[in-house]
Amino acid sequence: MMRNRRVVAFVGALALLCDGVQGALFTQQHQINLQATPILYARFDQLVNPGPNVTSGHLHGFVGPDNLRPDITGPELLEGACTSLEVGANVDMSSYWHPIIMHNNSGVLTALQTKFITVYYDMNSDIPLKPFPEGFSMITGNASNLNPNCEKDAHGAGGGYFYYDSSNHYGLPRERVKGNSIGLHIQFPQCWDGKPFTKETQSQHMRHATTSWNMGWQCPTGFPIKFPRLMLSTNYDAGDPALYPTNPTGPTYVLSTGDPYGCTLHADFQNGWNPDSLKQVIQQCSQIGMDNTKNCAPLKISSAATAAAKACQFKGLVPEELNGIGPTKPNVLPGCLGVNGIKVPGCQPATTWGKPTGFDISTRPGGYPYWEPQPKPSQSPTKPPVAAPATSGTAYICKNPQWTDCENQKWTSNVCKSLVNSRFDQNVGSFGPDRGSCTLYSYVYLFGVSSPVCC
């Protein structure tokens, strides 16, 4: 069918970060925060590499509707049956995505689990805000900025920063973080000159505000159209230090772009808002306050909407990566990238597409072969744990991988059992025949519903 040509917005390496990056980027009085979970991890990008079954150079984590594909248009997003964003039906079906953070243990690369994702919209403004037009899209950051000095550059990480060890940083840590989490935060420009543009010309037509929050994030001269200020924040579980230690042979963390510095941090937004919904949000909720987001009526936030978002499952096709997204071949990321952003000689990226199989939406959402995230300390770091041979017994089920909040339940192999009394925190847990030989995450499929099952 005929598709409207979308307006694609890209921010180049010279995009100016707004005042306030180090600290709260948004004033809480004027912002709303929308909670989300990943809908998938996949190596495609409908803005940079659009087209049927076209792969991108690196892996992204997506929030958005179940009908995502690499040639989808903004209006088609609204045709999705559900979204992983926790809002009411047909309110915001937008697609949000960025590279993910992976742990590097002597060359064994493992995707960190997503603890939570927050999509912020700040509506503090000196002039009336406009909703995004149909077909509007934008990118912030520079996926090609492999710069080892990014931590020293106040704007090195493109449109945002990382948060760990109780402070903000413009680069990834070389050693294991001191706490149990690491986050990335990235902001988009909000000032538009009103002229159509392409990915090559976005920097001429989109700008960040030139003043800080106390002056209403004023736009520069010549950019009269102002959108709500958008930021994505994803928090990852750094895991047990015994399972996710400091890498003794190189960088401990790496973006899925192959970047161990963090300077290629970037994010994409493809507008799928119901035009009337966003207009009402701007009109009714610009001063509702972040803590009262649930009271913003146009968002239609409810317990049912939250359950639907967590249960939403991607229904499309993904590149059939040979390496998976758990422990991969040493120093090889999906797309055959090394831990330097350079293609690994002799490695051939996946080009075939298939349906996702055997994955957990909160841990491995992208259709890769099922992998255990990490072996236990007593096992080889290059081999996945071996599943217990028993076909029945007592399952030792825990609400998190640290072996706390546990209970015993009988289980039989390949027979699904309701786990009504085993609600896992962030849909992450542990399962096995006993505490001593339990395989982390093995055979657990949790979809955020009230009665997950375990087979």
Residue 379: pLDDT above 90? no
Q: Residue 326's pLDDT band (boundaries 50, 70, 90)?
A: very low
Q: Residue 149's pLDDT band (boundaries 50, 70, 90)?
A: confident
Please indicate whether residue 253 or residue 112 has the higher confidence score (pLDDT).
Answer: 253
- The predicted structure's pLDDT at residue 386: 37
Q: Which of 186, 158, 170 is nearest to 13 (CA)?
A: 158
Averaged pLDDT, 209-225: 84
- The predicted structure's pLDDT at residue 393: 54
What Å distances lie between residue 93 and 135, 241, 277, 294, CA to CA? 12, 37, 11, 18
Averaged pLDDT, 156-178: 85
Residue 172: pLDDT above 70? yes
- Report how far residue 384's alpha carbon sits from residue 28's, in angstroms, rounded to the nearest whole number: 44
Q: What is the pTM of this model?
A: 0.74
Please indicate whether residue 291 or residue 155 has the higher confidence score (pLDDT).
Answer: 291
Choose from 232-236, 343-347, 357-361, 363-367 the range with maximum mean pLDDT. Answer: 232-236
Instruction: Output the six-digit token pair for 89.
Output: 């039906």
Q: What is the average pLDDT score of the chain?
A: 75
Query: Residues 432-451: pLDDT tens digits?
Result: 433 333 333 322 333 233 33
List the 60-63 sheet strands across, edge first. 7-10, 136-141, 266-270, 95-98, 60-63, 40-42
Q: Residue 407's pLDDT band (boundaries 50, 70, 90)?
A: low
> Cβ of 128: how many Cβ atoms within 10 Å?
9
Choose from 36-50, 201-215, 409-423, 434-448 the range with maximum mean pLDDT. Answer: 36-50
Query: Residues 179-194: pLDDT tens digits?
Result: 889 999 999 999 999 9
Spatial CB neighbours of 454, under 8 Å, sequence gap ≥ 6: 395, 397, 411, 416, 417, 419, 422, 431, 443, 444, 445
Query: Residues 15-67: pLDDT tens digits?
Result: 222 333 333 444 577 899 999 999 988 899 999 999 999 999 999 999 999 99
Please indicate whether residue 143 or residue 432 has the higher confidence score (pLDDT).
Answer: 143
Q: Residue 364's pLDDT band (boundaries 50, 70, 90)?
A: very low
- Report how far residue 129's alpha carbon sits from residue 123's, in angstroms, rounded to the nearest whole number: 7
- The predicted structure's pLDDT at residue 159: 66
Instruction: Output the six-digit token pair for 86.
Output: 């926790």
- Report how far residue 115's alpha carbon sits from residue 362's, in angstroms, rounded to the nearest whole number: 8
Q: 50 and 27 in contact (C-beta within 8 Å)?
A: no
